[in-house]
Amino acid sequence: MDSFIVGELQVMSQLRSSINIHRENNLIQTFNLAFFEHVISATRIIRKELGYTSSTESMLNLATASLEAILSEKGDVSSVVLGFGEMGVKAVETLQDLGQTNIVVVSRNPKESANRNQGLAERCKMISYSDFSAKIEADIVISTMRCSSPEYTETNPLPIIGETTILDFSWPPSIEQNGISKEQTLLGMEHWIQVARNIDSTEYKILMGKGDELIENIQNRYMEALTNKNEGRFRAFIYGQMEELSASWETSSSTLEREIPQLGAFAREIATWICQQNSSFYLSELMDYVNSTSRSLNSNLLAEVSQDVETSIRALTAVG
């Protein structure tokens, strides 16, 4: 609960350390390494452009301050914590440190979860998500769920009743605004970022707009560089393939001695035609180009050239 999302200095430090370990032990391929280095570079650019060159206050501190503010008004409350992983354990620990005793913890396997921290679990009520499906009343809900998409939505609302304050620390978010009732308040990641950066909703929208624009520009530059690099490799490969074929044509029994000086140039012309196509092309178009050459080549040699080029391209585009 110390950092928000990828981009925070602590998270990026962990990512860089992981990449270095993989690189030192030859556990990462060149392409993936280049991609991750691009992510790190992009993060630096975005942070610099937006003026965020230092870490925010930790998530745990923000959560604690928020809970203290809520409890100062409500006193002893009923709390529900979703998830009992590392973040869930910290949430329960914080609630208990603040003197709260009425705590329900929801996890996939309550018995296994309790073993992670028996001291905390003994002072909570541990239930499963199937038991949680029945509506219960709570003043505070803290979500630390790990999910790839929101768990509680309009079609699957959060089974909590009452004027509840919901603190969603999951990323991606576990609860959507339309997954709660009108009298409930959702403090999701958007809220925590605003608090951490000391900005209001208007400033947040402007910030997100700038961020989206920066990311799009960085992504476009990356894709352009990647495309150019791939095109360069493709050109080198095609010219290499045609050069190999021209060497075989020069020693072919179909080749006349006067035709030999033309074959290297002809192979390069074929390679150039292939590389200049801006989109996919039919093999018949390439064959038409080869067979309609103005070079003085005998029919047997031209047929051999055409066959070799076709075979080479078919092998290049074969699947599997």
This prediction's pTM: 0.64
- pLDDT confidence of 319, banded at 50, 70, 90? very low
**Alpha-carbon dihedral sign for residues 147, 10, 97, 166:** negative
- pLDDT confidence of 2, banded at 50, 70, 90? very low
Q: Residue 320: is its pLDDT beyond 70? A: no
Computed over every residue of the chain, the mean pLDDT equals 89
Distance from C-alpha of 222 to C-alpha of 43, rounded to nearest angstrom: 13
> Measuring CA to CA, which residue among 201, 155, 161 is closest to residue 184?
161
**Which pLDDT tens digit goes with each residue over 67-77?**
999 888 888 99
- pLDDT confidence of 6, banded at 50, 70, 90? very low
Give the position of tokens 């402007």.
206
Question: What are the extents of the domains in the chain?
Answer: 1-53, 59-198, 218-317
Measured CA to CA in angstroms, residue 90 lies from 30, 74, 77, 173, 204 at distances of 38, 21, 18, 18, 28
Q: Residue 40: is its pLDDT beyond 90? A: no
CATH superfamily for domain 59-198: NAD(P)-binding Rossmann-like Domain (3.40.50.720)
Q: Which residue has the higher pLDDT, 224 or 137?
A: 137
Q: Cα 269–274–279 angle (5° rounding)?
A: 150
**Which pLDDT tens digit goes with each residue over 182-239?**
999 999 988 988 988 889 999 999 989 998 999 899 888 888 877 777 788 888 999 9
Burial state string for 243-259 with b = 16 or more CB within 10 A and e = fewer than 16: eebbeebbeeeebeeeb
71: how many CB neighbours lie within 10 A of its CB?
18
What's the mean pLDDT in 123-142? Answer: 93
Residues 6+ apart with CB under 8 A from 286: 270, 273, 274, 309, 310, 313
Distance from C-alpha of 7 to C-alpha of 39, rounded to nearest angstrom: 9
